[in-house]
Structure 1
């Protein structure tokens, strides 16, 4: 046994001595070097590059420009600062204007470096207000660490930064400050990957862009913009699409004038010039959630720093641009209780287990969400969500209805609309639909609680494998399923076909069968379902949409 142990140590040492590594890589800006280390799996290694600039430090309210390059070898071993943004409580700022960097994970075998691997580019969420390419960080455990996806799926993972908040999405609605700078940053990052990823062992013609929440909507915008023609092969939108009610600001001038007033700029033809000269941190704070809309308005109605139809990156309404994604394979889905995060803020009694949620709170919420269509819309919507109740609804029925209303309105129904839209115009592009329903791990939530907003992220990024003590085996199961589906899809355009085994065959979506897969740790033959919340999808997309706008 001792001899066997010595032989194993010798083999491991030999393996590490001959570990495949890219070493320094030549990019268009110059040479970059990263880290190489062993990962789980027999003789598996990972090349990691953190903080590679994909554009020059951005000018204020300007599109990104090419990076001028550097001399020598750039050490790409540390994450760079996030783009300048408000903190989570919206009272201070953090980050920097010089922020257009990306990170790359390249899986390697023992002897030969990887070649022609599929590439997955991650776009983070955060309401277009906050976020970072490395994600939340606790004890150097970064949420958007691409190692588990790259290693388990044998793909290259890239995470990129983009401007958010005022600096990323303020628009005067004219040529002064057209807006969409965050979307242009994403585009610049994707284009950089397309031009440079071959040097890292990637297939420049097989790029999948994936993201969650505002990142999911961003993926949708990137797929349908004519600016990305030929750059993207596939897309995955998790809990966010371009058709979400918060994804497009159709009255940007109003908010630009509000920001201008708060930073003491005029609101006439000198507004744009003044805003461009204003201190960046002052501008960023002026675009916080606390600076606009009535305090009683639902949170979703305060998310107004978002993309605009600028006649350039987005030349038309998003619904009219899906034809640009006709040849792109697309996975679209949502979490079954995506709206819970927002509902808990809008209706505080929701998360107080010992207190009932008054029926009036539900009616008030419905009225606020349907305000533009008037009282009739609120009455019809309330009728839809209470149609199964008896004369005296239970405490749980009312609370669940609050969550369902916000989930449907903010996330689920728009994702379904995008599915139908993509499928109706697709030529060679395939469409796949999913619902993520793994019960929340939050011990404070009620027993009926499903998957809250952003709870899918830990599973997509393999946290149950990276930090096993924090999870149960069932969580590793669902994480393995998601990584397998996502990376198979990146390889082949079919989540079932690739190197990774999946628990159930996921059928493509079409308008005859309306099939989707329900993702959780109990996956089996009953996980393929049909007509996701069709009654409520029909209400919002047909009945509600056909009502006249009053406000």
Structure 2
């Protein structure tokens, strides 16, 4: 009976705590109030509008945020920007909301970490369903997450003033400007902001590193399993891609103005629901339609990208410290979708993407044979060599672009670069657990996220083995945000000293049951892809319009 009373009292306490408001905060837009999380450790300000988008500025940069009178209740999560799900199109067009998580009792000004969610530029959100704040915020940092436009709404690129391109990236920049202007009111330090992202969020982070539009908006960056110089980050034919949408509606046109007139008037749910098939040639391209583009110069329009990220990073890299990394078996989630039939078809494709270009098809075929023999020898692609295909996906789409971007950054005199390789397999490797490789070693794409974030989608408690990884990786990431070094000299609670890479050597932190420093993984694969991209990388802008 005594235990039952204690349980009732605890339950009433927890219920009461949920209803407790966080301290009011006054920003330029007005005064807002949040709430305290159930554990009483985090002040949550959820669903704050940081910019405005509606049908009047569809496909364009967002409008300034709204103001309000009274106290805005920042307690309701706007789930997402519009995206296709198995339940139909979810989300609302007016979706540009930020979530600010502040540690209770911490003394400011606090370092600020801004996370950019992934999802192939077509799905996802910054909400707590995946990105719960507790693991990071306990280290006395402020975490900010946010939504940005996805799919056709975020990445239609027609090269005209009405649809210049990269609206989703312009949302991200608007969010960073909002944070820079307002975070001090929450106790954050506007001069100590770290951006980080995973997958499409990592490609976005890398693009923001390359873009001149973001100068002065952040101080450090963490790029997890993505890159602006990967083959799936930049649209090589954006008007043609947009024409595939109008073709689904019965229009056969490649005129940008005609395409805009059709798509701008379409209800957003109908636009997002369009799923044309992207014809693929011999190259190992992805089927992603709506991704960032190189923008044509237009009067009165601020661009995000005026050149290829590779060219921008080569010519004028920011003096910003960066952590780059990937997981050792990223390709599990892609290979899990393959069938015996699709595997056979892959034998007739080049095992590289169309961000490479060749003087003629004979050279392309010769180099493709070199890549295929490197991974598969004489056996070809089939069920028996499926793990080699995992390596192809891992290396081509994620690991090697990250390494080649590292090469660009360490070539800059003032850039400090840290590299990691995440190999850990535990009970929080969520994406791998949903594939046929759930019992295999290694970490799938996105598996590290659930050691950084207290995801509500994975409600299982953290076991002792996983807790060690949670503690390590969150400490490393927040140390980097606080001090610019993930293992500063004055700390002794981490079992390793993370050594940055340099022009002569890439130094890697291997994250597994042990933390240890090591050299470049997969040296032969790196040399192969470095040769390919050094000799055949497509850098001519004319082929991207």
TM-score higher than 0.5: yes
Q: 1:255 to 1:393 in 2, by over 3 A?
A: closer
1:385 alignment counterpart: 375
Residue number in structure 2 paired with 1:124: 117
The answer to whether residue 187 in structure 2 is matched with residue 201 in structure 1 is yes
Counterparts of residues 13-162 of structure 1 (less than 5 Å): 23-37=23-37, 39=39, 45-58=41-54, 59-87=57-85, 89=86, 92-109=88-105, 114-134=107-127, 142-151=129-138, 153-162=139-148
Please point out which of 266, 285, 288 is paired with 1:278: 266
1:478 CA drift (Å)? 1.1
The match for 1:487 among 452, 455, 478 is 478
CA spacing shift, 1:344–1:378, aligned 2, 3 Å: farther
- Contact 1:462–1:483 (CA under 8 A) maintained in structure 2: no
| Structure 2: distance between partners of 1:37 and 1:275 | 41
Change (3 A) 1:214 1:35: same
1:394 is displaced (CA, Å) by 12
Q: Are 1:226 and 2:212 matched, yes or no?
A: yes
Q: TM-score, normalised by structure 1?
A: 0.83
Q: Which residue of 1 aligns with 2:408?
A: 421
Asked whether the 8 Å contact 1:24–1:31 carries over to 2, the reply is yes
1:271-420 equivalences under 5 Å are: 271-286=259-274, 288=275, 290-294=276-280, 301-310=286-295, 311=297, 312-322=303-313, 324-345=316-337, 347-349=338-340, 363-364=347-348, 366-367=350-351, 369=353, 374-386=364-376, 398-420=385-407
Displacement of 1:198 after TM fit? 0.3
Quick one: distance in 2 between partners of 1:244 and 1:543? 13
* Contact 1:120-1:158 at 8 Å conserved across structures: yes
Unpaired runs of 5+ residues, structure 1, are 136-141, 351-356
Question: Could you list the runs of 5+ residues in structure 2 that have no partner in the other structure?
Answer: 298-302, 359-363
Residues 456-495 of structure 1 mapped to structure 2, 5 A cutoff? 456-462=448-454, 467=459, 469=461, 471-495=462-486
Alignment deviations for residues 91-138 of structure 1 (CA, whole Å, 9 cap, x no partner): 8311110000010110022xxx53110000010001011111116xxx
For residues 383-403 of structure 1, give each alpha carbon's deviation from its aligned partner in whole angstroms, at most 9, with x where no partner exists. 22246xxx8899997222110
Superposed CA offset, 1:265-305 (max 9, x none): 5543433233212221222122x3x532259986x521131
Deviations 1:37-95 (A, max 9, x none): 464xxxx73211110000123421121111130111000112113111111x5x83111
What is the distance in 2 between the residues matched to 1:188 and 1:251?
Answer: 26
Supply the distance in 2 between the matched residues of 1:503 and 1:413 (Cα, whole angstroms): 28
Question: TM-score, length-normalised on structure 2?
Answer: 0.84
User: Contact conserved, 2:100 with 2:143, CA < 8 A, in 1?
Assistant: yes
Aligned residue pairs total: 503
- The Cα of 1:534 is off from its aligned counterpart by 2.4
Query: CA contact under 8 A between 2:421 and 2:511: conserved in structure 1?
Result: yes
